[in-house]
Structure 1
Amino acid sequence: MRETLWSLSVSERFHWSVSTKPTTSSCTRTTQLWRNKVAKIANNHKEVKFAIADEDEHSHLLAEFGLDDSGEEINIACYGPDGKKYPMEPMEEWEDDEVEEYITKMKKGKLTPHLKSQPIPKRQDSPVKTVVGKSFDKIVKDKSKDVLIELYAPWCGHCKQLEPIYKELATKVKKEKNLVIAKMDATANDVPEAFKAEGFPTIYFAPSDNKENPVKYSGGRTVDDFMKYLKEHATVAFKGKDEL
């Protein structure tokens, strides 16, 4: 049976992380203080991996969990076995009971994960539909539609080159009601593991009948290339039509 591992990260403002090598006796005492606090909790949860980290050195982690503006001294968060992020309500002072309650709820699946997301657009005027973290499931995982989605980064030169081609493609197929041409800023929104982007742009095709196993597009990047691919792989679009 596969062991389920949890990862709990604890950051405390202005204090050293366990991985930091302190250079003074004061730093050593501070580090040991937090090691002791975490170890006391860790002894009750052997299936959880625990760590402590300095807030300044690991500010990117706080941002990932939506805790960068918490304003509190202690911030705790966990990556669950589902890969999702579960932040705890920030604390001004360490409370064993509150931390224990948080871990217990997490293990029982009673916590709501944090989802990094831009605001959902109020209007979709472009033929290319804009997807954000909070609208991903509704749009991309809609089982009544085939979806081609581009994961991009605002600074990516290749993404900028693709933009007019992608828009032309979306305009060309806009009458296909069961086909969505979409894009999402993968630097500002959480992306589901199945749609992981290791470079930009990354394009996936999510057919209507298999949303959990999207196919990474690796073909050419002309309008004709995309059209050929979509007509060959669409499950609900283009049916009964030779041409648009």
Structure 2
Amino acid sequence: MSQRRALVGIFVILAALFAVSTAEAEAEEKEYVLTLDHTNFSDTVAKHNFIVVEFYAPWCGHCKRLAPEYEKAASILSSHDPPITLAKVDASDEVNKELSTKYRVQGFPSIKILRDGGNKVQDYKGPREADGIVTYLKKQAGPASTEIKSREDAASLIDEKKIFVAGVFPKFSGVEFEKFITLAEKLRADYDFAHTLDAKHLPRGEPVDKPTLRLLKPFDELFADYQDFDVDAMEKFINEASTPKVTVFDKNPDNYPYIDKFFRSKFAKVLLFVNFSSELDAFKSKYDDIAALYKGKDIGFLLGDVQSSGGVFQYFKVNEDQAPLVLGQTNDGEKYLKPNVEPDHIATWVKDFKDGKLKPFLSSEPIPENNSERVKVVVTDSLEEMVFNSGKNVLLEFYAPWCGHCKQLAPILDEVAISLENDPNVMIAKLDATANDIPKGKFEVKGFPTLYFKSASGNLLQYEGNRTKEDIIDFIQKNRDKTIQSGSATSEEPSSREEL
């Protein structure tokens, strides 16, 4: 009997251990990130007052790196009170295309915070690692503005290295307070907000006797007050006051938010690049004075360290050996350049840039000495001669060396060029749009590859057909001018047996 009881006891223990291990295995296998698509997206989002959705592509490297962090964050946030739900949508799947369009997905991964059953959409602007995701989303799920009751509250909320927006009120009611909360809801992804009954709790600024919006910042004047509680006016004030007089571009991560804001802003831009270790003292004070002169005139100023600016140089297609250099960029993207600039020459150059007196700068690769390939290489400096003044029918591809679709199209264009190589009046060509600037007003290149066809008589069309050899050749034949340009004379290309 005792042996039987022992066996039963062992069985109970083993069953319990099995149940525990099974539960643990199930917990490990459980996916906390919801998988959504066009069939369940709307119904799922409608059930949530707050849900986070990642739009991803399975082939995207950034998405693959985010996936385990996103899943870990989802696991942690599932225990939050109330739980915070994270979801994902394969935005590369054609069936989800309408969702991608609706939520303006322009790259991967793209993360959106959806509130009020999807009626309010906010871009996620937080970290991409699990702990940072959790901290950011807990804050976003809470109230848009937090009450400050003491200096201790302020110290725990306010990061001295970041922009902080505080509202000072005699009471937490009334039109001004309501509009402040509306502003906080609108801009909560970009700034931290708090409200208080007494300005003395804040680390900077003077006492006030009426509703006041106080902006705390780590640069220039350390605080700025504003008392017009129109929501649009407050937003404009914050946007302008939170932009440094001169944005510093170096390796200091504290400057990254201001650098990002500078390049995203729509104002005209002036960028000065010098070697901080040897040239900064000679330029900084004079550049600061110039920036102060243009403050409030829709023009932003950036001072960059040459050693930290390789990506910017690549974007603007300039070289480090041109530094110290000053660059200008207008709202429509036109660029202006003065290489090897001296400190005393910057003020005059900026004035001429602002007054529209400078000639735009177009960067170009060198014109190739040998251009014997079937698909001819065009650069900015040869564009007029090879395309517009060639007297030929030219199919021109704008491509990027890293573009997968461009790589797929390359052999097809080679086949087109081979098929038409005996036709002296047709040329197939390509231009690397990452290394050459495209003149404004002639081509509209928003993605790669982009194909344009210029007929011999100058008619310019964008090719948007299928990317097969047959379709491209058919398009060329239908839209070409059947004439051969020879100097100033034009002769008809034989088109019938009698003419032959």
- TM, length-normalised to structure 1: 0.71
Structure-2 residue corresponding to 1:202: 450
The answer to which of 58-67 and 224-233 deviates more is 58-67
Q: Does the 8 Å contact 2:396/2:429 carry over to 1?
A: yes
Q: Does 2:362 match 1:115?
A: yes
Distance (Å, rounded) in 2 between the aligned partners of 1:233 and 1:209: 11
Q: CA deviation at 1:70?
A: 3.0
Q: Does the 8 Å contact 2:413/2:469 carry over to 1?
A: yes
Which secondary structure does the structure 1 equivalent of 2:322 belong to?
A: coil
Structure-2 residue corresponding to 1:49: 299
Distance 1:89 1:128, change over 3 A: closer
Structure-1 residue corresponding to 2:479: 233
Distance 1:35 1:102, change over 3 A: closer
Distance (Å, rounded) in 2 between the aligned partners of 1:54 and 1:189: 23
Amino acid at match of 1:77: L
Q: Does the 8 Å contact 1:11/1:53 carry over to 2?
A: yes
Structure-1 residue corresponding to 2:328: 78
Greater RCO, CA 8 A, separation 6+:
1
Q: Does the 8 Å contact 2:270/2:299 carry over to 1?
A: yes
Structure-1 residue corresponding to 2:290: 37
Equivalent of 1:133, from 380, 390, 393?
A: 380
Superimposed CA distance per residue, residues 50-94 of structure 1 (whole angstroms, 9 cap, x where no aligned partner): 32243366543334152533343xx311135884322123345x3
Which secondary structure does the structure 2 equivalent of 1:69 belong to?
A: helix
1:1-244 correspondence to structure 2 within 5 Å: 7-14=269-276, 34-40=287-293, 42=294, 49-55=299-305, 58-63=309-314, 64=316, 66-72=318-324, 75-79=325-329, 83-91=333-341, 94-95=343-344, 98-103=345-350, 105-106=352-353, 107=355, 109=357, 111=359, 113-142=360-389, 144-193=391-440, 194-210=442-458, 214-236=460-482, 240-241=494-495
The answer to which of 54-63 and 134-143 deviates more is 54-63
Amino acid at match of 1:49: I
Q: CA deviation at 1:14?
A: 3.7
Q: CA deviation at 1:154?
A: 1.8
Amino acid at match of 2:480: A
Which secondary structure does the structure 2 equivalent of 1:195 belong to?
A: coil
Distance 1:220 1:192, change over 3 A: same
Amino acid at match of 2:320: D
Superimposed CA distance per residue, residues 91-141 of structure 1 (whole angstroms, 9 cap, x where no aligned partner): 45x32xx22332455446454x43322221112221211111211121121
Identity of aligned pairs, percent? Answer: 30
Distance (Å, rounded) in 2 between the aligned partners of 1:70 and 1:185: 22
Q: Does the 8 Å contact 2:406/2:449 carry over to 1?
A: yes
Superimposed CA distance per residue, residues 8-41 of structure 1 (whole angstroms, 9 cap, x where no aligned partner): 33345449xxxxxxxxxxxxxx99985433223x
Q: Does the 8 Å contact 1:117/1:188 carry over to 2?
A: yes
Amino acid at match of 1:129: K
Distance (Å, rounded) in 1 between the aligned partners of 2:413 and 2:452: 13
Amino acid at match of 2:271: S
Which secondary structure does the structure 1 equivalent of 2:301 belong to?
A: strand
Distance (Å, rounded) in 2 between the aligned partners of 1:189 and 1:108: 23
Distance (Å, rounded) in 2 between the aligned partners of 1:189 and 1:166: 20
Q: CA deviation at 1:146?
A: 1.7
Amino acid at match of 1:36: D
5+ residue gaps in structure 1?
16-29
Distance (Å, rounded) in 2 between the aligned partners of 1:135 and 1:61: 25
5+ residue gaps in structure 2?
1-266, 278-282, 485-492
More helix by share: 2
Distance (Å, rounded) in 2 between the aligned partners of 1:237 and 1:169: 20
Q: CA deviation at 1:186?
A: 1.5
Amino acid at match of 2:422: K
Which secondary structure does the structure 1 equivalent of 2:396 belong to?
A: strand
Q: CA deviation at 1:237?
A: 5.4
Distance (Å, rounded) in 2 between the aligned partners of 1:101 and 1:71: 18
Distance (Å, rounded) in 2 between the aligned partners of 1:87 and 1:60: 17
Q: CA deviation at 1:195?
A: 2.4
Q: CA deviation at 1:187?
A: 1.5
Distance (Å, rounded) in 2 between the aligned partners of 1:225 and 1:204: 14
Distance (Å, rounded) in 2 between the aligned partners of 1:182 and 1:176: 14
Distance (Å, rounded) in 2 between the aligned partners of 1:37 and 1:110: 18
The answer to which of 225-234 and 101-110 deviates more is 101-110
Amino acid at match of 2:443: F
Distance 1:89 1:126, change over 3 A: closer
Distance 1:198 1:110, change over 3 A: closer
Distance (Å, rounded) in 2 between the aligned partners of 1:6 and 1:155: 29
Amino acid at match of 1:165: I
- Say what the alpha-carbon RMSD is for the aligned residues: 3.4
Q: How many residues align?
A: 214
Distance (Å, rounded) in 2 between the aligned partners of 1:77 and 1:225: 43
Which secondary structure does the structure 2 equivalent of 1:101 belong to?
A: helix
